[in-house]
Amino acid sequence: MLTSCTTEKAAAPSAHLPAELFDGLGARQATISPKFLYDALGSKLFEAICELPEYYPTRTEAGIFERHGHDIAHACGIGSTLIDLGAGNCAKAASLFPLLRPAQYVAVDISTEFVSEALARLRLRFPHIDMRALGLDFSSGLALPDDVRAQQRLFFYPGSSLGNFTPLDARAFLTRLRKGCGLDGALLIGIDLAKDKASLDAAYDDALGVTAAFNLNVLRHVNRLLGSDFDVRQWSHVGFYNEAAGRVEMHLEAKRAQRVRWPGGGRHFAAGERIHTENSYKYRQADAIGLLEQSGFEATHVWTDARCPFAVIHAQAIA
């Protein structure tokens, strides 16, 4: 029998992570995957970003959940296996616990330490819910352990994180979720919709510089993972909406020419050269629904905010 005091599962060491970083940093256009933004400090900085007046997604989505919570619960059903992808501090899922009343809550995050601390606090508030943390890089695979209930799986992917994938990769990711749903599973997802450039630029380059600190922190994380010697002081944050590509981009720009070393190699960066750290694609509502349909889901309900275009979608797995 499953209990609410199950020990958290630590993230298994992944040999491919350093290779992925080496490949990205060595590419003609240097890149660092956005998943590396979320070490323990990065997760806390992202919490702070969500409180910023410029960063609309969190409060807009929260407003949708607050206004339409009962309808959302009716669409999702009670007693689900709630699988929270990129759970972070688990606050978004926890706000829905009284309505969804999940039988099991699985908090999935690449930063196991951060999410485990959040679960320890949640268990005090909801001792009747079986909870467990799962350290997993779900962007590249979704192998769930046997102790995750197979019945009535509801994947929860809020916050518009789907935009971090290219549309092609987003479809592949959603297809993996469909396979993980089983026969009676579903998806509850937040998707940021296209809006004006000024709002998007401000959201990803705030006046206080919290987003800049969040982006720059990835270099500290990379130093720990690779043994590299990035000097964070020699880099600056760049965030803007690329209208032609339909996405927000985040980069780190070298303030001066420099050589960065890591075991077995290194790279010269010219002044002004950039490392691409994140994309955030913005969708038209019809395109978002079409993407779900192409991935094996049927959008049964869509809840939006007319003042700030954003959508929360319930999508049922279909054969």
168-217 pLDDT, tens digit per residue, is 999 999 999 999 999 899 999 999 999 999 999 999 999 999 999 999 99
Residue type, 208: L
Identify whether residues 276 and 286 lie together within a single domain.
no
pLDDT score of 7 more than 80: no
pTM above 0.75, yes or no: yes
| Residue 2 within any structural domain of the chain | no
How far does CA 26 lie from the centroid of its chain? Answer: 25
Sole residue written with tokens 């997604």: 57
H/E element holding 252?
strand 247-254
Identify whether residues 134 and 36 lie together within a single domain.
no
How high is the pLDDT of residue 193? 96
Identify whether residues 150 and 253 lie together within a single domain.
no
Identify whether residues 83 and 154 lie together within a single domain.
yes
Cα 212 to Cα 51, 65, 225: the distances in Å are: 15, 29, 21
How high is the pLDDT of residue 8? 36
Residue 139 is encoded by which pair of tokens?
A: 């962007």
3-state secondary structure of 44: helix
Report the distance separating Cα 14 and Cα 40, nearest Å: 18
35-67 pLDDT, tens digit per residue, is 999 998 998 999 999 999 999 999 999 999 999
Identify whether residues 167 and 204 lie together within a single domain.
no
Identify whether residues 160 and 121 lie together within a single domain.
yes
85-143 pLDDT, tens digit per residue, is 999 889 999 999 999 999 999 999 887 887 888 899 999 999 999 999 998 888 878 88
Sheet containing 297-304: order of strands: 130-135, 104-109, 81-85, 153-157, 186-192, 310-317, 297-304
Identify whether residues 276 and 309 lie together within a single domain.
no
Report the distance separating Cα 314 and Cα 204, nearest Å: 27
Report the distance separating Cα 214 and Cα 207, nearest Å: 13
Domain that holds residue 298: 54-194+282-317
Identify whether residues 150 and 238 lie together within a single domain.
no
Identify whether residues 269 and 231 lie together within a single domain.
yes
144-175 pLDDT, tens digit per residue, is 999 999 999 999 999 999 999 999 999 999 99
Give the mean pLDDT of the chain.
92
